Amino acid sequence: MDGVNVLTQDVVIPGDSYRYQFGVPDAGTYWYHSHYLSYDQVSRGLFGAFIVEEQNAPAVDHDIVVQFFDVLLDQSGQYDEAFNPAHFATEGRIGNTVTALVFNGTGKTVKRGDRLRLRLINPSIDRVYRVGLDGLIGKIVALDGMPLAHPRTLEPILLAPGQRCDVIGDATGPIRFDDSFGEQTLSLGEIAVSGSREPAKAPITALPANRMPAPKDPGQTAELVLQGGAGSASHNGTGTWALNDVSGLPRRPFLSAAQGTTARISIRNETGFPHVMHLHGHHFWELDAAGEAGPYRDSTYLDTGETRDILVVLDNPGSWMLHCHMLSHQADGMATWIRVG
């Protein structure tokens, strides 16, 4: 029930229907989207938030989903149908209109002093944000749906396509979102505030932990080299982008392992652009330079020239895509897959 055509299911053709049935073992902030021609269909809005609630959720006054979404509009304000092939070879199809889509499940107005849970999601096809928050004193409590054992200080959050971040905090005024990833700081939108109350006294603590597999010494290691794009060295793939000299899904998986294997994958970005590598069906630990495990997430951001090792317990049997979540890059070659079990 992973929704990847070619690999695990057929496309759902116009007029047809398909019933997805699956368990939701991990509480947290997720999202769903079309995985077919996704650079086009997601950019037209075929996505949504998918929230799995905790059994014992922390007490908050508002639980708010905020999706940062950009779209390319033409001069008449319509979706720009003109596809510029150059977008596929560079940083992707970056929109000229950026919005924070805010959904407050309680439907109530936020007061100064209210405690908020913000579920930040980046469903944009290619745009990376560095999200700053004004008007909130709080902590970062989860990344890519998974609770942080130790909540982090709230500072601007790098949010690459597909990534999520949960923040819990108390409103001190209108909550304003801005993006400082590019050269200019962009205003993304705000949550209005009206009235006030005594702020909650309870400290902000870690979310209840999800069940997590225990990693062993890696039974398998692999290297994944990100190649291609404008101005980079040539590779042997047939598309603009390639992973280990192959563009698009290879006939054989990049990695095949027995269920339960711990794998360490070293990802090296040899291109002139950043990427965000997303693994289906699993979360993984980002390892730091010393090999220490960092956050447990499902999408990892790599700047130009950067290398990151990830450690993953392959406990979910099936065929799983591993691809750049900048969907223009995925469309032009930056995708592979693994097989578990």
Residues at the interface with Cu ion (CB under 5 A)? 275, 324, 326, 329
Q: Which residues pair with 7 in a beta bridge?
A: none
Find out whether 189 and 219 touch, Cβ atoms under 8 Å.
no
- Residue placing its CB nearer to Cu ion in the complex, 3 or 161: 161
Question: What minimum distance in Å lies between the beta carbon of 32 and Cu ion?
Answer: 21
Q: Specify the residue, 61 or 332, whose C-beta has the smaller distance to Cu ion.
A: 332
Q: How far is the CB of 149 from Cu ion (least distance, A)?
A: 29
Q: Alpha-carbon torsion 250, 251, 254, 260, what sign?
A: positive
Nearer to Cu ion, 29 or 269 (CB): 269
Q: Shortest Cβ distance from residue 140 to Cu ion (Å)?
A: 24
- Which of residues 7 and 326 has its CB atom nearest to Cu ion in the complex? 326
The least distance separating Cu ion from the CB of residue 68, rounded to whole angstroms, comes to 18
CB of 72 to Cu ion, least distance (A): 18
Q: Which is nearer to Cu ion, 282 or 329 (CB)?
A: 329
Query: What are the φ and ψ backbone dihedral angles of 170, each rounded to 5 degrees?
Result: -105, 135
In angstroms, the Cα distances linking 148 to 83, 143, 239, 296, 308 are 40, 7, 38, 8, 20
Please give, one letter per residue, the 3-state secondary structure of 98-153.
EEEEEEECCCCCEEECCEEEEEEECCCCCCCEEEEEEEEEEEEEEECCEEEEEEEE
Structure tokens given for 135: 């008007």
**Residues contacting residue 48 through CB under 8 Å, at least 6 positions apart:** 31, 32, 33
230 vs 293 by CB, closer to Cu ion: 230
Phi and psi, residue 328, nearest 5°: -70, -30
Q: Which two tokens stand for residue 24?
A: 């939701």
Residue whose pair of structure tokens reads 């909650």 in the numeric block: 200
* β-pair type (307-314, 318-324): unpaired
- Shortest approach of Cu ion to residue 172 CB, angstroms? 37
Residue (125 or 193) nearer to Cu ion, CB? 125
Q: How far is the CB of 329 from Cu ion (least distance, A)?
A: 3
